[in-house]
Structures are given as C-alpha cells and as structure tokens.
Amino acid sequence: MQKLFDKLTIEFRRHKGVLIQEQYEYILKHFNDIDEDSEIMLFVLQASGYPIDFDGKVYKLSTYFEDYTNQKFCVLDIETNGSKPTNSQVIEIGAVMVQNGSIIDRFESFVECAYLPEYITKITGIEPIDLVDAPTQKVVLTQLKEFMADSVFVAHNVSFDYSFLNASFKRFGLGEIGNAKMCTIDLAKRTFESQKYGLAYLIESLELDASSHHRAYSDALCAYQVMQKSFQTLPSYVHTTDELLQFATSSKKTRREKNEKKES
C-alpha cells in the first residue's frame, strides 16, 4: 500500500491536486496490490487516513488545497518495550490533535504488556504494574486509528513512530497508515538554529513545558511546541499543507530557488 500512497501523492502534485477517473484508475491498476475496484479502493484509502476526496467527478488531494493553519495535525509519541516491531510492542501512546494553533483533542493510553525490560522502566518510569490492566494492543491501536482520521501524522523522528505503528496496525488487521507525515526534527532544522535537534536538548534549550521526558503524552506536547515554534518562521511561500510537507523535507537549493522566485 505504501507504494500506492506514494504514487498517488506524486501524481496529485503533478496534476495540481486533482486526478480524473482515468488517471486514478490507471494508478490503481499499476501500483496497487489489492485487487478491488476503484470505489472500494477509495473507501480503503480514506479508511487508512490517506487524504483523498471524491466529488463525483474528480479525485482531490485535500492537503494540496488546505491552508496549513486550518489543517488538523496529530502530534504523537509512543513508548515501546523494544526497538523493533517484529519482537516488541507499543506500551504507551500520547497524542494531541492540533488545528489553528490550538489543541482541540487529546489521546493518551497505556497498552497491556506482559514483558517490560528493566532498562525501559529506567528510561520511561513506566512500571510493569502500570500495564497489567491496560487496554489491549488491538483496542488502543483501533482507538488511535479513529483518533488520527486523515490528519497529518507528526512526530519527533517521525520515521520511527510511523513505521512502528504501521507494522503494529498491520499485525492486528487494521490496515496501513496512509496519513501524510511530517517530522518536527526536519521542520526545526529548516526554521531555526540549534546546536542539536534531539527532543531532550530542545526541551532544555527552548525551555519547553515538559512534565516528564520519555513519557508519550509529555513528549507529544513538546513535539507540538517545537512545531509551533517552527511555524513562526516559515517562509512566505508556504501556504498549503502540501507546501508545508514539501518544505519540511526540502533541500537548501530548493528553498533558495523558491525564495528567489518569490522575490522576483
């Protein structure tokens, strides 16, 4: 599915955020590993969090047209009992839903777990007893998927959280994550100077409001604060969510060319 998500996004950008039926069906035919018709696949894409709309005539990438200030961002963090989803699991999830610069909703939960290494307890402060009566993985992951909807998935070092949760979703039959994603480390590097960009360093140097580092909800709040600081110094050519997502991974050359084009 990831190949399909990526190809759709590339083609939407090539065609200014809009695909006609023939273009959409061509992509499904050549880049989709699920043998379903276009209507069912639209439901699958939307259920996965991929931001696609259909008005009866054309398909649209909603992030291409949405002003980033109005966009919903799900800023989250996870704690796990190991580094690899093949032999580890999520033990805590914390997330805030952000829109128009404010937190509009929150998500926080421990996850039932039978094995918690001592070194994880030392890092996080989470004790085995905290997880004994917690909701199961499937329950929490299902709730998180519903909470995320088609918001932009944001995290500090997003590749870890995104890939770990994606593998976890697939393991429990919840499909894959199709949400657009953004890394607050990448965004921070392009918007303000810092000797380091690790969350622990930024919490201290920026004097962020952090009640407990290496706890999911607290770290999600700090990542949100980093994102908000970055928003203060975005270049003037960034207007839509898609422009923001591209800016967050852009090269110096690309940013220089856009600035020069804006000034000319």
Q: What is the pLDDT along the chain (264 residues), one digit of tens a residue?
A: 999 999 999 999 999 999 999 999 999 999 988 877 889 999 999 999 999 999 999 999 999 999 999 999 999 999 999 999 999 999 999 999 999 999 999 999 999 999 999 999 999 999 999 999 999 999 999 999 999 999 999 999 999 999 999 999 999 999 999 999 999 999 999 999 999 999 999 999 998 876 667 799 999 999 999 999 999 999 999 999 999 999 999 999 999 888 877 766
Q: Of the residues 16, 42, 65, which one is the last residue of a structural domain? A: 65
Report the pLDDT value the prediction gives residue 209, as an integer from 0 to 100.
Answer: 76
* pTM of the full structure: 0.95
Report the pLDDT value the prediction gives residue 211, as an integer from 0 to 100.
Answer: 66
Same structural domain for residues 98 and 161?
Answer: yes
At 184, the amino acid letter reads: T
Count of alpha carbons within 13 angstroms of residue 263, beta-carbon side: 7
Same structural domain for residues 101 and 57?
Answer: no
Nearest to 222 by CA among 96, 45, 52: 96
Nearest to 114 by CA among 128, 101, 124: 128
- Residue with token string 């962020």: 208
DSSP string, 165-192: HHHHHHHTT-----S-EEEHHHHHHTTS
Report the pLDDT value the prediction gives residue 210, as an integer from 0 to 100.
Answer: 67
* CA distances from residue 163 to 167, 168, 177, 201 in whole angstroms, order as listed: 6, 9, 9, 24
- Give the separation between CA 76 and CA 63, rounded to whole angstroms: 19
Same structural domain for residues 112 and 188?
Answer: yes
Same structural domain for residues 123 and 159?
Answer: yes
Same structural domain for residues 188 and 217?
Answer: yes
Q: What is the DSSP letter of 112?
A: -
Same structural domain for residues 87 and 131?
Answer: yes
Same structural domain for residues 198 and 126?
Answer: yes
In the chain, helix, strand, coil percent, each to 5? 50, 15, 35
Number of domains in the chain: 2
Report the pLDDT value the prediction gives residue 95, as an integer from 0 to 100.
Answer: 98
Q: Of the residues 37, 65, 93, which one is the last residue of a structural domain? A: 65
Establish if 260 belongs to a structural domain: no
Nearest to 49 by CA among 144, 138, 168: 144
Q: Of the residues 44, 65, 86, which one is the last residue of a structural domain? A: 65
Angle at 135 between CA 132 and CA 140, to 5 degrees: 140
Tokens of residue 147, six digits: 């909470």
The residue segments making up the domain with residue 8 are 2-65
Report the pLDDT value the prediction gives residue 150, as an integer from 0 to 100.
Answer: 97
Same structural domain for residues 56 and 111?
Answer: no
